[in-house]
Structure 1
Amino acid sequence: MMNLIEWIQTALQNSLVWVKDLGAVGVLAYIVIYNLATVLFIPGSLLTLGGGAIYGVVWGSIYVFIAATLGATVAFLLGRYVAQDWVSKKIAGNVTFNAISAAVAQDGFKIVLLTRLSPIFPFTLLNYAFGVTQVSVRDYILGSIGMLPGTILYVYLGSLAGDLTTISTQPSLTAEAQIAQWIIRILGLAATITVTVYITRIAKKALAESVKGSTDDRSPPD
């Protein structure tokens, strides 16, 4: 009997086969499916690989980036205007998200960009989490360009598979693919270190200001 993860993977592979059979119209269907997966917290790696297998590196990267950005924006808007209470409870007490929220208030575009480049931040939950921060819609969408390096890599790996039935398995990598993979990993590590240092600095500054404000409040009047 199939478990839930296997069922989802099979359903996604079947949907990709259906999209391929649709021809040009399949692009719109692909984007809609990608959006639904993003909103429903389904990881998009299989769909991204499928985009490479169906459309190749160039067009696959374009379609996947458009689909991922639209899906992330829909989730962001749902988090801000529809499910704000649920999202707030979901991330309540999470030190990382609280630090991101504080940092976003000062430099929304930079934080969104860095977290998109970093592989340690969960893409689907982060979409909703940004909705309850002070980041503007404009900065959020522009910061999504940080998804592009990882998108191109996964699309490229999907294009190597060629066959949709094999995209869930790791394809044998060419030397160029291995180099690209390491470049993305190094870029992601650098982004992770940068965003961690940045939000830690902002958190310390906010704490110092809070302590100073508390001390001032307790100071006796002249």
Structure 2
Amino acid sequence: MEINLPELLRQALQGIENLGAIGAIAFILLYVIATVALIPGTILTLGAGVVYGAVFGSIYVFIGATLGATAAFLVGRYLARGWVAKKIASQQKFQAIDEAVGKEGFKIVLLTRLSPIFPFSLLNYAFSITQVSLKDYFLGSVGMLPGTIMYVYLGSLAGSLATISSSDRPTNSTVVWIIRIIGFIATVTVTLYVTRIARKALAKL
């Protein structure tokens, strides 16, 4: 039997909507679980706009996404890092790049969070096997804010949980172009930045 995940998430949101004040806590917990489980958060993010409005929805999504990303990072670092480290133990070039990324962790995490080409859920686990510190990783999560606000705002315009889908995209042209410009700048910057520090690291070998 095929599981209709978007529909299950919508049903969960409907249940949370009826919980009143405690619903916000339930929503954040659901977002954390979804993030760790690599479940795309688009439905939940859009749904937050419907249930809580643009302002509170953005706050709850940002808290849930940050806590979820941190939890996924810790799971990846302490449950999978040992295995991955063994796989790359003989790769000196990777170790050099890893060390360089660790030193510039906050900037790289921030830029990749701003860029739409880096998948949120997978990125959490990818960073967990680098030397990025938990502090830099956590603080870099602020880069999720523009995208979070954009999608929650879109959800607030939907008016009903039944009308949202994981394929929804912003329709406000001003918002779209602002986010696109931010994302493009972040993508180019992080690409050039990582390339530069990787070259410096490899030059030391």
TM-score using structure 1 length: 0.82
1:202-217 correspondence to structure 2 within 5 Å: 202-210=197-205
Task: Note the alpha carbon deviations across 1:134-181, whole angstroms, 9 max, x for none.
Answer: 1111111110000000000000000000100011163783xxx22111
1:1-222 correspondence to structure 2 within 5 Å: 3-4=2-3, 7-85=4-82, 101-168=98-165, 170=168, 173=171, 177-210=172-205
Alpha carbons 2:96, 2:202 under 8 Å: kept: no
Distance change in 2, residues 1:205/1:30 (3 Å): same
Percent identity between the two aligned chains: 63
Find the aligned partners of 1:14 and 1:128 in 2 and give their Cα distance: 28
Distance change in 2, residues 1:179/1:91 (3 Å): farther
Distance change in 2, residues 1:100/1:125 (3 Å): farther
Which residue identity lines up with residue 155 of structure 1 in the other structure?
V
* Cα root mean square deviation, aligned: 2.4
Alpha carbons 2:13, 2:47 under 8 Å: kept: yes
Higher CA-based Rg: 1
Shift of 1:29: 0.8
Shift of 1:113: 0.2
Tell me the matched-pair count.
200
Which residue identity lines up with residue 168 of structure 2 in the other structure?
Q
Unpaired runs of at least 5, structure 2: none
Unpaired runs of at least 5, structure 1: 211-222
Alpha carbons 1:161, 1:171 under 8 Å: kept: no
Shift of 1:126: 1.1
Find the aligned partners of 2:88 and 2:54 in 1 and give their Cα distance: 36
Shift of 1:104: 2.1
- More displaced 10-residue stretch of structure 1: 103-112 or 31-40: 103-112
Shift of 1:89: 8.7
Shift of 1:106: 2.1
Distance change in 2, residues 1:178/1:138 (3 Å): same
| Highest RCO, 1 vs 2 (Cα 8 Å, sep ≥ 6) | 2
